[in-house]
Amino acid sequence: MYRVKRIYDDPATEDGFRVLVDRLWPRGLSRERAHIDLWLKEVAPSTELRRWFHHEAPLFDEFTARYEAELDANPTAVDQLRELGRTHPVVTLLVGARDPELNQGVVLERYLEHHP
């Protein structure tokens, strides 16, 4: 099972294996406080896509389509997450985004669940 959580939220035992899926390290957060098991930058949206989207709600549908196309073109990183999902009961995808519903973690979670 995959779930999405803000990296700024406190870690919890139910998070399972914690994977940071941002290309940039979250501002103001130490590595100790982050409690991540893996930083998988390769699965994050490209810098160009991240800058274009800039977390603007009206662009989210187009962002989703473009990000899914990037994921289709990046099977190695996606397969790494799939393998983690097979070996851990819970994999938490950590994002630095403020909006809990309009971010790459949400898109990535849906992608992993619906694109075998």
Residue ranges of the alpha helices (H) in the chain? 31-34, 47-53, 60-72, 75-87, 104-114
**Confidence bin at 56 (pLDDT 50/70/90):** confident
Kindly state the tokens that stand for 37.
Answer: 């098991």
Which helix (H) or strand (E) segment holds residue 95: the answer is strand 91-95
Kindly give the pairing relationship between strand 38-39 and strand 17-20: parallel
| Count of the separate structural domains present in the chain | 1
User: What are 61-116's pLDDT values in tens digits?
Assistant: 999 999 999 999 999 999 999 999 999 999 999 999 888 889 999 999 999 999 86
